Chains A and B, each alone.
Chain A
Amino acid sequence: MFKPTMKISVALAVSVALLSGCSDSKEEAKSSIVAGIDTNPFPSTYQAIESKPVVITNVTILDGIGGKIEDGEILLEDGKIADFGSSVSSPSGAIEIDGQGKWLTPGIIDNHSHLGVYPSPSTRSHSDGNEMTGPVTAEVWAEHSIWPQDPGFQRALAGGVTSMQILPGSANLFGGRSVVVKNMPNRTIQDMKFPGAPYGIKMACGENPKRVYGQRGGPMTRMANVAGYRAAWIEAQDYKEKWDKYAADLEAGGSPDQPSRDLNLETLAGVLSGDINVHMHCYRADEMAVMMDVMKEFNYQIGTFHHAVEAYKIGDKLAENNVCSAMWADWWGFKMEAYDGIKENVAMVHQAKACAIVHSDSDLGIQRLNQEAAKAWADGKRAGIDISQAEAWQWLSANPAKSLGIFDKTGSIEEGKNADVVLWSTDPFSTYAQAEKVFIDGAIVYDRTQPNTWSVSDFELGQVAEGDAK
């Protein structure tokens, strides 16, 4: 396993403390000043919906970390999973739901979405996902592009998605910062931001940067892609050193001159410090292996390879380097670097004891990630890879939560975690399963049986088919 050994900077120590705490937004705002810089200038204003306690009985529970309980019960209270098992006590005034024949799972977490940055309708004026003006744009933040009125959020909710990461596109070597959101679209993006979630950075291997910049000054080749990452990391190391020294001098009681800020390098330095997670679009096995060497050269950690179509070829290396792979069940062939896609990819990565994630990268795919996991699970099984459904659910909740740095808060059914859960009409590994009730922080935010309660985006109000079955 590869662990960064670099001495953690003052800035990191403070920001990690605030990012991993369950602080409310006021506290975050207060403690986000580090070395004179506000590290959280766009704080979350997310508010959980108030809810009564909920008890669901007679239900098949997949806890999302390998456990399955038949005829189980669960109590959601004060926004948290208060208790679950073969029986729970029901507080007075609790909403009681008979889960006969139904299944309960942790809410699905999609760690690869472009909702809001490439929203519906996909007009040119809505195309806010790729800053294709230069190959290194770590200074841009996806949250400044997201349109919270994208109807895709409500559709994803009906598919049981409770949280997601929204990323910039993959045109650039460094595409900018991603953001983790609760799937509770509201007036502003700050209203959706997952409190305490760390930032991510989007990076990209392979064809896309080559294609976009090949005739515009480069990179034109994969070798220039790699030269581009390395040059950026060298600059980021210098920048970080300057700021670390400044912070140390400040702490020692001195009055050093503040170095000048550079938003691009600030994000890259955040990666080197370990407080920004790396999400790297990378299809080919050989390129992933090169990137894991670049990671060691510059002493940072790649959290997750996204669209890792060839991860099955190097499952051992991914496990050894502690890098997750976010994958589709069966997409392939739409470009050369996707030509070797196979349906057993997810299961083979899991079998190699590497972290496997099923992601969407699609406003349609995000609506039925349970089916994507079901296909991957069934294909693995037929290839002799025996994984239980209970284990396979990790691909949808626990592993993406780990990839996003929010597993201490959500992503599994464990006491004390956020009550982000889905009640399915039947076995969610079936095409015919529907997310019947979706809970975020204990509140019912989607109830398939109550169409008049569904959330409708501003965009769809007053348009054809407003509030129709979607």
Chain B
Amino acid sequence: MSLLKKMSLAASIALSLGLSAAAYAEKIAIVGGQVHTVSSAGVLEEATVLINNGRIQQVVEGDSVPSGYREIDARGKVVTPGFIGAYTSLGLEEVSGSAGTVDARTEEHPISTLGAAFDVQFAINNDSSLIPITRIEGFTSAGTALSSTGQLFQGQGAVISLAGKFDSILKAKAYMQLDVSNGGADDNGGSRAAMWVAIHTAFEEAKFAQSYTMNPSADWHGLTTMADAKALIPVLNGQVPLFVKADRAADISQMLKLKLRFADLRLVLVHGVEAWRMASELAAANVPVILNPEYNLPGSFDQLGATLENAARLHKAGVKVVVGMDTHNIRLATQHAGNAVANGLPHSAGIASLTINAAEIFGLEEQIGSLEPGKDADVVIWSGDPLEVAQTAEQVFIQGKEIDMSSRQTKLRDRYLKRNKALPVGYTRP
């Protein structure tokens, strides 16, 4: 009997005994790599990561392994926590333009006047080819949300595991999205003068709705629908963070002033091309920033301050920086972070921008984002520095399981590398 068969047999026994699959997961030691713990333990030049029951058991210095662990050699390699794709629409779209399934954009529906009620947790397609394509590059989880609603809010995002299982949601209703940049103003009265009044009104209504019995027979004449108001209550209370997309320094300033009206809001700035100009204010208000550090062009009049040093300047001022805004190529967030490092961000902050900082924004810092005991064993063995464009993820573990390092793209590659020229191409089955 092959090992695999033995394992699956054992797994089915474990399941039939009522144990969860995770409880069965084997004990693995990732041995002797340069380990970036992304915790107070820092970077250990030679260390071993012990995995048990799908969780990190311990990170120990050196390369000696207690008995009972399957050893995976990582000497000469780099080991990090699984990276988190912070700001994506993974699982919501297969082909963005002119084709395929796109659940990342909504149209108007009577359930919502302001877009707050929309919830992507029901829309995730775990079979999307983007999931394996992304995870073999070292990304083990992601924030995923609508890219547009044409309304004031862009709905509620979720955090998903990229294990590809049907129950991939790590956290539903993980964040609410609001766009106060030019795009938001265009969709909401054509001017910030209209948009901001609408935002204030929406939150005032949510405040009122807290102590109001919301049911279909109730008398409700708000700007928001009942569903929107209900979705905004936990945002108002700071249970759900509010992701605010803004670039212009003045818009960022307005965003911060929102806290004067609604003190419990937990703000996260998204995009933030001119965020460095408000760095000390953002630091004082403890507002993290999700950005692409490569945006250095004045793409609009709201981005005149664009610079490659955005991430470095924010970090220096004490702002937590998260890198990772894309969907099909969220895997390139490593390169983006590398370019932030090339322009002044410390390397350790570059790694944190892809891991623990994102986990903290999502309120999942007890579960993912670092190599610390008790956390999910989302671990990546890299050929070298993950921020170097010429290096790659060699093996990825999600919740303690080695994932298959193939994707539709690697299969296409292998088919055409090994094509049997005597036969039509469909008969080459890599």
Interface residues of A (CB under 8 A from B): 120-123, 151-152, 155, 207, 211, 312-313, 330-336, 339-344, 348, 363-364, 367-368, 371, 374-375, 377-379, 382-384, 429-434, 459-460, 463-465, 468-470
Chain A neighbourhood of B98, CB < 8 A: 207, 211, 335-336
Measured CB to CB, the closest approach of chain B to A81, in angstroms, equals: 28
Q: Are A465 and B306 in contact (CB under 8 A)?
A: yes
Using CB atoms, name the residue of chain A closest to B339: A431
A121 to B305, CA, bound (A): 12
Q: Is the CB of B390 within 8 A of A342?
A: no
Give the CA-CA distance A342 to B388 in the complex, in Å: 19
A155-B296 in contact given A332-B328, A335-B96, A431-B342 (Cβ < 8 Å): yes
Given contacts A120-B298, A331-B329, contact A468 B413 (CB under 8 A): no
Residues of B within 8 A of A207 (CB): 97-98
Quick check: A374 and B328 within 8 Å, CB to CB? no
Residue of A nearest to B411 (CB): A342
* Mask: chain B, 257-281; 1 = CB below 8 Å from A; 0 = not: 0000000000000000010010000
Roughly how many angstroms separate A6 CA and B331 CA in the complex, as a whole number? 48
Q: How far is the CB of A392 from chain B (nearest CB, A)?
A: 11
Decide yes or no: A333 and B298 within 8 Å by CB, A429-B389, A469-B307 being known contacts: no
Query: In the complex, are the beta carbons of B412 and A340 less than 8 A apart?
Result: yes
Contacting pair A464 B305 (CB below 8 A): yes
Q: Using A312-B416, A334-B97 as known contacts, say yes or no to A464 and B304 having CB atoms under 8 A apart.
A: yes
Whole-angstrom CA separation of A470 from B310 in the bound complex? 10
Given contacts A335-B96, A339-B95, A364-B295, contact A121 B390 (CB under 8 A): no
Cβ–Cβ contact A430 & B388, under 8 A = yes
B417 touches A364 (CB 8 A): no
Complex interface bits, B282-304 against A, C-beta within 8 A gives 1, otherwise 0 = 00000000000011111111011
Other than A335-B96, A431-B341, give 13 A-B pairs with Cβ distance below 8 A: A312-B416, A334-B96, A335-B95, A336-B95, A364-B297, A430-B388, A430-B390, A431-B335, A431-B339, A432-B388, A459-B298, A464-B277, A468-B305
User: Contact: B389 with A382, CB < 8 Å?
Assistant: no
- B1: interface (CB < 8 Å): no
Q: What is the minimal beta-carbon distance from A433 to any residue of chain B, in angstroms?
A: 8
Taken residue by residue from 114 to 141, chain B's Cβ proximity to chain A (1 for < 8 Å, 0 otherwise) reads as 0000000000000000100000000000
Contact assessment for A382 and B392 in the assembled complex, using a CB-CB cutoff below 8 Å: yes
Beta-carbon nearest neighbor of B100 in chain A: A336
Q: Which residues of B contact A344 (CB under 8 A)?
A: 413, 417
Residues of B within 8 A of A335 (CB): 95-99
- B327 closest partner in A (C-beta): A333
What is the size category of the interface that chain B forms with chain A?
A: 35 or more
- Which 5 A-B residue pairings sit nearest by Cβ, starting from the closest? A431-B338, A336-B99, A378-B390, A333-B328, A335-B97
For residue A468, which residues in chain B have a CB less than 8 angstroms away from its CB?
Answer: 305, 307, 309
In the complex, the answer to whether B297 meets A363 with C-beta atoms within 8 Å is: yes
- The A-contacting residues of B in range 299-321, CB under 8 angstroms, are 299-301, 303-309
A368 touches B390 (CB 8 A): no
Closest A residue, CB atoms, query B414: A383
Closest to A336 in B: B99
A363 to B339, CA, bound (A): 16
Pairwise interchain contact B307-A470, C-beta atoms closer than 8 A: yes
Q: Smallest distance from the beta carbon of B215 to chain A beta carbons, Å?
A: 44
Contacts of A364 in B (CB 8 A): 294-297
**Which residues on B sit within 8 Å (CB–CB) of A339?**
95, 99
Q: State in angstroms the CA–CA spacing of A378 and B389 once bound together.
A: 8
Inter-subunit contact B298/A463 (CB<8 Å): yes
Residue B147 interfacial (CB < 8 Å): no
Please tell me if B387 contacts chain A, counting CB pairs below 8 Å: yes
A123 to B301, CA, bound (A): 9
Q: Chain B interface (Cβ within 8 Å of chain A)?
A: 94-100, 130, 249, 274, 277, 294-301, 303-309, 328-329, 331-332, 335, 338-339, 341-343, 387-392, 409-410, 412-413, 416-417, 425
| CB <8 Å contact, A330 and B332 | yes
Interchain Cβ contacts under 8 Å between A and B, 6 examples: A120-B298, A333-B328, A363-B297, A371-B335, A375-B335, A464-B304
Question: CA separation between A363 and B306, bound complex, in Å?
Answer: 13
What's the Cα separation between A434 and B343 when bound, in Å? 9
Minimum C-beta distance from B190 to chain A (A): 14
Q: Give Cα A122 to B126, complex, Å.
A: 36
Contact with A465, one of B100, B307, B342, B417 (Cβ below 8 angstroms): B307
The answer to whether A469 and B309 touch (CB under 8 A), given A341-B409, A378-B392, is yes
Shortest beta-carbon distance from B334 to chain A in Å: 9
Q: Is the CB of B298 within 8 A of A430?
A: no
Which residues of B lie under 8 Å from residue A343 when comparing CB positions? 409, 413
Closest to A378 in B: B390
- With contacts A334-B97, A431-B342 taken as known, whether A375 is within 8 angstroms of B294 at the C-beta atoms is no
Q: How far is the CA of A336 from the CA of B299 in the complex (A)?
A: 27
- CA of A364 to CA of B299 in the docked complex: distance in angstroms? 11
Whole-angstrom CA separation of A57 from B331 in the bound complex: 38
Task: Give A399 to B294 CA distance when docked, in angstroms.
Answer: 27
The complex places the Cα of A331 from the Cα of B329 at a distance, in Å, of 7
Once the chains bind, are A430 and B389 in contact (CB under 8 Å)?
A: yes
A434 touches B342 (CB 8 A): yes
Measured between beta carbons, the chain B residues less than 8 angstroms from A378 are 389-392
Chain B's nearest CB lies how many Å from the CB of A374?
A: 5
Q: Point out the residues of chain B lying under 8 angstroms from A312, CB to CB.
A: 413, 416
Contacts of B296 in A (CB 8 A): 155, 364, 367, 470
Tell me the minimal C-beta distance from B266 to chain A in angstroms: 29
- The smallest beta-carbon distance between B67 and chain A, in angstroms, is 34
Residues of A within 8 A of B249 (CB): 464
Interface centre among B305, B341, B409 (most CB of A within 10 A): B409
**What separation, in Å, do the CA atoms of A152 and B379 have in the docked complex?**
39
Contact residues in A for B294 (Cβ distance below 8 Å): 364, 367-368
CB distance from B368 to the nearest CB of A (A): 25
Kindly report which residue of chain B lies nearest to residue A329, judged by CB atoms: B389
Residues of A within 8 A of B309 (CB): 468-469
Q: How far is the CA of A155 from the CA of B295 in the complex (A)?
A: 11
Query: Are B96's CB and A469's CB within 8 A?
Result: no
Q: Complex Cα distance A211/B97, Å?
A: 10
CA distance A468 to B96 in the complex (A): 35
A208 CB to nearest chain B CB (Å): 9
| A121-B416 contact given A333-B95, A432-B338, A470-B307, CB 8 Å threshold | no
The residue from B297, B343, B388, B417 contacting A155, defined by CB atoms under 8 A apart: B297
Q: Which residues of A contact B303 (CB under 8 A)?
A: 121
Tell me which residues across on chain B come within 8 A of A368, comparing CB atoms. Answer: 294, 339
Chain A residue at minimum C-beta to C-beta distance from B94: A333
Question: Which of B94, B277, B300, B390 gathers the greatest number of chain A CB atoms within 10 Å?
Answer: B390
B242 CB to closest chain A CB (Å) equals 26
**Residues A470 and B308 in contact in the complex (CB < 8 Å), given A121-B303, A122-B300, A333-B328:** yes
Residues from chain A with Cβ under 8 Å of B305 in the complex = 464-465, 468
How close is B256's CB to chain A, nearest CB, in angstroms?
Answer: 19
CB distance from A398 to the nearest CB of B (A): 21
